[in-house]
Amino acid sequence: MKNRIITISRQFGSGGRTVGREVAQKLGIPCYDHELIERLAEESGFAKEYIKNESEYRPFGSRLASALNVGTGFDPLTNQDRLWIAQKRMILELGAKESCVIVGRCADAILEDQADCLRVFIHASFEQRAKRIVEVYGETEVPTERRLRDKDKRRISYYQYYTDRTWGDINNYDVALDAGRLGIDKCVEIIAGLY
């Protein structure tokens, strides 16, 4: 198997983004994470902050809106739907064009039919993720535990809505690693070794 593209899905606070950056650096290929949001902003016309905040929310009720508007000529797409379409097109273009690491953004599902895509999932225990988000992002008014639970719920729901797959289902990944137990460096070594 030739792994030209590496997709990294990760639990919030697991260190998956750092793993992605370091794998890309080690392999000398680009890593798309925040860069995708910037490109998406340029192409879609939405503001970066809006994309960052909204693009992980599934549009509640949009199916209903869609059903109610059949045949009326009214565009039933929500902003989230439009963002999803732009994001999907962008990831498919990236996948067809260059070797790279893509962090998050449902890239594993979008590129699932690409034989040369290595699909990675990075996770860690709740306790280790809680510790990490305080270290990396600092404290906020919202309790750490709630920040983690909210983000998890949002990702699971968004992923399920747009891909019809279960987020974190072991069968969807070539490699799943507990970065809390193995450490970031070991994860980077394993993934780079599979490229």
The minimum distance between CB 183 and a second copy, in angstroms, equals: 8
53 vs 166, beta carbon nearer a second copy: 166
Residue 154: CB atoms within 10 A of its CB come to 14
The minimum distance between CB 76 and a second copy, in angstroms, equals: 35
Alpha-carbon distances of 182 from 21, 100, 124, 177, 188, rounded to whole Å: 17, 24, 9, 8, 10
12 vs 173, beta carbon nearer a second copy: 173
The minimum distance between CB 90 and a second copy, in angstroms, equals: 25
State whether residue 45 is helix, strand or coil: coil
Q: What is the DSSP string of 96-159?
A: HH--EEEESTTHHHHTTT-TTEEEEEEE--HHHHHHHHHHHH---SS-HHHHHHHHHHHHHHHH
> In the complex, which residues of this chain contact a second copy (CB under 8 A)?
1, 121, 123, 125, 168-171, 173-178, 181-183, 186, 189-190, 193-194
Tokens of 140: 């906020």
33 vs 174, beta carbon nearer a second copy: 174
The minimum distance between CB 194 and a second copy, in angstroms, equals: 7
89 vs 186, beta carbon nearer a second copy: 186
Residue pair 176/121 in contact (Cβ under 8 Å)? The answer is yes
The minimum distance between CB 152 and a second copy, in angstroms, equals: 11
Residue pair 104/159 in contact (Cβ under 8 Å)? The answer is no
The minimum distance between CB 1 and a second copy, in angstroms, equals: 6
35 vs 174, beta carbon nearer a second copy: 174
Q: Closest by alpha carbon to 162, among 171, 154, 151?
A: 154
Q: Closest by alpha carbon to 178, among 130, 125, 132, 129?
A: 125
134 vs 175, beta carbon nearer a second copy: 175
The CA distance from 17 to 159, in Å, is: 18
